[in-house]
Amino acid sequence: MSNRRNQATPLVAGTGTIVHGDCTELLAQKSFPLVDLVHTSPPYNIDKPYQDYTDKLHLSDYLKFVSRVARLLSEKMRSGASLFWQTGYTQASPNSDEINPIDVLTFPLFKEHGLYLKDRIIWRYYGGMSFKSKFKNQHETILWYVKGDPENPTVQPYFNIDAVRETSREHDPRNNLLGRNPGNVWQVDRVAYGSIEQTSHIAVFPEEVTERIIRACSRPGDTVLDPFLGSGTVAKVAKSLGRSYLGIELSRGYYEESVRRLGYQQLGELDTVLSWLLKNFLLGSRRRASREDCRFYFRQLLRARPTNIEARLSEWCRAFTGVDDVPKKEKPKLWAMGDEFLKSISSPRTGHLGLLSNIAAAYLNNYKLAKWFNGLRIGLIAHGLQQEIEPVLKSDRKMESVLDRIVEGEPSSYESKHKGNVVLLKQGERRVKAGVARRRIKEAPSATEPVLF
């Protein structure tokens, strides 16, 4: 949607790449990799003041643009891959009071390019833009398209409902042990001004929205793409969940902000939890600790005596073989135990509890969707991570390797040059304000070499 041609060398971090460039040019490259999942929100053509590109085209030109993107995405999606296309409304014509729903306008374009509609999700939020002449906007639509396969008409997209189940309203033995299906109407607050998720981008969507999509519709290691990356939400969440990520962003400013934002995110759940524990219970306000201090802290965490509720939950997790093997009469007691566990880790003295509680607290503080999980689900997740973490904490060699990985994996948080002696947190405000971002971009060198995958 712009004549801009400047492109930059891709950032490679962990198992991901984000690129500054035009998605219609980059997706057309034969060497662009196939992807398993796409979540994106394109410009709505309502003349929003994005950095470096226009959002005001004639409606016919806008639909041609969407059609081209749909075709290119279809070509780069594996058979059975999913595309979540997040949209709103656009004007029927300049200065017109009439609106056109983008999901309705563009539906035939996706179908034309081999993508069939699997579901239609409503993201409902509080607040929204108010008008004097009509009701205020309080929702967006997310269309779930799937890449069909003419040679295998029965192909189905990957979908794991257990990964996103929510706490059931009642402890009814007939309910699923892990919770209820969240449905296709999602009540998620918009990104609040001044929150950590806030960026200089004018249309950032909450991490919780994309987290639900990535958890349910991809496996660890799958490749997740956002061709309109904005300030990097999809790439950040994919990285946090151990997925490979690809992001394309036309604006130099938003691209640079995505680089910085990804630098605050560890790769995968294990390193995310360990880094959070390190920053919140050891470094804290002092920002600096020796390697020996870090090892001592983790050893103390390993030796911490579990509380009674932790011990009971750990015993159940070790014996757990699947939801189908749990008798109905046992479910209410297990749900009550999970509720008790969640209550115990809400204490401000969480850092003095056992390893399982600390892992669970770190998880709840890093994953927005986890607030919807019941206590048993949080316990199972924490127990699984504990089984991975304990061997690391028992070995100085493994612990040193993990410390190196944490420092290198989160360059916006840690000073990597000090990794040989101390672990040092960087100073600076994590929340990004538009003016600060623009000043940083002006000082950055521009690049003109094309990106090849």
∠ at Cα 371 (370, 373), nearest 5°? 65
| Least-confidence region, from 116-125, 237-246, 253-262, 419-428 | 419-428
Residue 74 has pLDDT above 50, yes or no: yes
Closest of 167, 211, 216, 168 to residue 188, by C-alpha: 211
> Across the chain, what does the average pLDDT equal?
83
Residue 100 is predicted with a pLDDT of: 84
DSSP 91: E
Instruction: For residue 123, give the 3-state DSSP assignment.
Output: strand
Q: Find all residues with CB under 8 Å of 194, minimum gap 6, and list them.
A: 431
User: Tell me, what amino acid is at 191?
Assistant: V
Tell me what the mean pLDDT of segment 326-350 comes to. Answer: 88
Helix, strand, coil in percent for the chain, rounding step 5:
45, 15, 40
Confidence of residue 432 (pLDDT cuts 50, 70, 90): very low
CATH 3.40.50.150 in the chain, residue ranges: 11-262
Confidence of residue 423 (pLDDT cuts 50, 70, 90): confident
| Least-confidence region, from 275-279, 396-400, 410-414, 446-450 | 446-450
Confidence of residue 437 (pLDDT cuts 50, 70, 90): very low
Residue 420 is predicted with a pLDDT of: 62
> How far, in Å, CA of 161 to CA of 155, rounded?
18
Residue 289 pairs with which residues in a beta bridge?
Answer: 423
> How far, in Å, CA of 129 to CA of 137, rounded?
6
User: Tell me, what amino acid is at 122?
Assistant: I
pLDDT top residue among 384 and 194: 384
Highest averaged pLDDT of the listed ranges 117-121, 197-201, 286-290, 345-349:
117-121
Residue 168 is predicted with a pLDDT of: 94
User: CA dist 438 to 256, 262, 441, Å?
Assistant: 10, 18, 5
Residue 151 is predicted with a pLDDT of: 83
Residue 444 is predicted with a pLDDT of: 37
Residue 446 is predicted with a pLDDT of: 37
| HSE toward the beta carbon, residue 17, CA cutoff 13 A | 14
Tell me what the mean pLDDT of segment 412-432 comes to. Answer: 68
Sheet bearing 244-249, strands edge to edge: 11-13, 16-20, 244-249, 223-226, 35-40, 77-87, 139-147, 115-124, 185-187
Name the CATH architecture for the domain at 11-262: 3-Layer(aba) Sandwich (3.40)
> How far, in Å, CA of 262 to CA of 278, rounded?
19
Residue 290 has pLDDT above 70, yes or no: yes
User: Model pTM?
Assistant: 0.88
Residue 43 is predicted with a pLDDT of: 85
Confidence of residue 246 (pLDDT cuts 50, 70, 90): very high
Highest averaged pLDDT of the listed ranges 54-68, 136-150, 194-208, 273-287:
136-150
* Structure tokens given for 144: 């779930």
Q: Find all residues with CB under 8 Å of 263, minimum gap 6, and list them.
A: 13, 410, 411, 412, 413
pLDDT top residue among 177 and 418: 177
Residue 3 has pLDDT above 50, yes or no: no
pLDDT top residue among 207 and 151: 207
User: Tell me, what amino acid is at 373?
Assistant: F
Q: Give the CA radius of gyration of the chain.
A: 23
Tell me what the mean pLDDT of segment 441-453 comes to. Answer: 38
pLDDT digits (tens, 9 = 90+) for 156-199: 999 999 999 999 999 999 999 999 999 999 998 876 444 455 45
Residue 92 has pLDDT above 90, yes or no: no
Confidence of residue 79 (pLDDT cuts 50, 70, 90): very high
Tell me what the mean pLDDT of segment 22-39 comes to. Answer: 93
* Structure tokens given for 31: 């060497």
* Residue % of the chain over a pLDDT of 90: 52
Residue 65 has pLDDT above 60, yes or no: yes
* Structure tokens given for 450: 């094309």
Biggest CA-to-CA distance, the chain: 67
